């Protein structure tokens, strides 16, 4: 459906900034494919090359069999694109924006109303409001409506949930699932690791390079170390002391917990994870921490990402 083959993109006068570094992946039909990575990882550059807005320095890419350089017109006719920045007319109302984009794509709102109905019913009470005066979540929903209005076969969503509250984010992903069930292929990028699990397959990306491509489950399962979540009364002291703990290969804060990774080889030799926990608890208690809580956990995509970065 969508394939990228060794894409390279550089910026700057002397091409000194390498934004996308030999990226290859392919997206199947009716799949939600996530590009997961921090700001500046090169997600937007990849999206722009796939939506024909940027020319790759080298490599090739195609959308539905159309080449992004040669057949750019064909691609522009069929895909839906929602840029990372809110890109609708702030001084036009919700209704006017939708009508305008419908005519730009040579269709009408009525024609494809069933596709956007679920989303649009939430916007309907505000249809006379100017787009610039909508809340963040509402703006994104409107932008999604506008990107969907011509019934695209492939949908490119560049960070659609950035700056959106958690409830709206959840709703947004539910919408994407519904669109997927209608056979639309969706490419989505996000800096939020917790959204990775909602994709069918993800590509972890950092500094323009793809670190890993697989289903979120497989990526988590491939985590090589044993991982423990630790909590105590003083978070900052806890992190400081953990960093000194000899048997930890990595420690970092993770929400209200601190995650401690340790080489899983020691457990093959007969050591039980319980013993490691005991050892860690004693160590922390010796260093004046109280209410210590330790539990073994499964790695999330974010843990994998952090591991990749090391």
Give contact residues for another protein (rule: CB under 8 A): 48, 51-55, 72, 76-77, 79, 81, 83, 85-92, 96, 99-101, 103-106, 146-147
CA 154 vs. chain centroid, Å, equals: 17
Q: Which is nearer to another protein, 81 or 305 (CB)?
A: 81
- Rounded distance, CA 263 to CA 138, Å? 45
Q: Which is nearer to another protein, 57 or 214 (CB)?
A: 57
Q: Minimum distance between the CB of residue 95 and another protein, rounded to whole angstroms?
A: 12
- Rounded distance, CA 299 to CA 110, Å? 46
Angle at 215 between CA 214 and CA 216, to 5 degrees: 115
Residues 28/19, Cβ–Cβ less than 8 Å: no
Q: Which is nearer to another protein, 100 or 223 (CB)?
A: 100
- Rounded distance, CA 176 to CA 180, Å? 6
Residues 172/164, Cβ–Cβ less than 8 Å: yes
Q: Which is nearer to another protein, 100 or 267 (CB)?
A: 100
Q: Minimum distance between the CB of residue 5 and another protein, rounded to whole angstroms?
A: 19
Q: What is the dihedral of CA 164, 168, 174, 178, to 10 degrees?
A: -80
Q: Minimum distance between the CB of residue 114 and another protein, rounded to whole angstroms?
A: 21
Residues 6+ apart with CB under 8 A from 265: none
- Rounded distance, CA 70 to CA 64, Å? 13
- Rounded distance, CA 205 to CA 212, Å? 8
Q: Minimum distance between the CB of residue 77 and another protein, rounded to whole angstroms?
A: 5
Q: Minimum distance between the CB of residue 104 and another protein, rounded to whole angstroms?
A: 5
Q: Which is nearer to another protein, 95 or 171 (CB)?
A: 95
Q: Minimum distance between the CB of residue 31 and another protein, rounded to whole angstroms?
A: 21
Q: Which is nearer to another protein, 90 or 135 (CB)?
A: 90
Residues 26/212, Cβ–Cβ less than 8 Å: no
Q: Which is nearer to another protein, 47 or 276 (CB)?
A: 47
Q: Minimum distance between the CB of residue 254 and another protein, rounded to whole angstroms?
A: 34
Q: Minimum distance between the CB of residue 219 and another protein, rounded to whole angstroms?
A: 30
Q: Which is nearer to another protein, 53 or 306 (CB)?
A: 53
């Amino acid at each position: 459906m969508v394939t990228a083959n060794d894409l390279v993109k550089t910026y700057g006068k002397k091409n000194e900034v390498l934004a996308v570094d030999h990226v290859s992946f392919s997206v199947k039909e009716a799949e939600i494919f996530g590009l997961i990575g921090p700001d500046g990882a090169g997600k937007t550059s990849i999206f722009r090359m796939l939506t024909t807005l940027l020319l790759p320095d080298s490599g090739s890419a195609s959308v539905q069999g159309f080449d992004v350089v040669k057949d750019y017109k064909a691609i522009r006719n069929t895909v839906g694109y929602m840029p990372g920045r809110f890109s609708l007319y702030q001084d036009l109302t919700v209704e006017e924006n939708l009508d305008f984009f419908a005519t730009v794509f040579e269709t009408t709102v009525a024609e494809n109303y069933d596709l956007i109905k679920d989303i649009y019913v939430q916007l309907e009470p505000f249809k006379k409001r100017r787009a610039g005066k909508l809340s963040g979540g509402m703006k994104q929903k409107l932008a999604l409506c506008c990107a969907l209005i011509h019934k695209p076969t492939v949908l490119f969503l560049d960070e659609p949930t950035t700056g959106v509250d958690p409830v709206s984010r959840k709703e947004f992903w539910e919408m994407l699932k519904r669109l997927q069930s209608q056979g639309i292929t969706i490419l989505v990028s996000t800096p939020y690791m917790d959204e990775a699990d909602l994709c069918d397959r993800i590509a972890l990306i950092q500094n323009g390079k793809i670190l890993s491509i697989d289903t979120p489950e497989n990526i988590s399962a491939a985590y090589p170390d044993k991982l423990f979540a630790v909590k105590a009364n003083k978070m900052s002291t806890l992190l400081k002391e953990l960093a000194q703990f000899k048997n930890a290969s990595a420690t970092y804060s993770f929400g209200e917990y601190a995650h401690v990774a340790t080489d899983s080889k020691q457990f093959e030799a007969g050591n039980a994870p319980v013993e490691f926990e005991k050892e860690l608890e004693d160590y922390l208690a010796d260093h004046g921490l109280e209410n210590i809580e330790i539990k073994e956990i499964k790695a999330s995509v974010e843990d994998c990402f952090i591991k990749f970065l090391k």
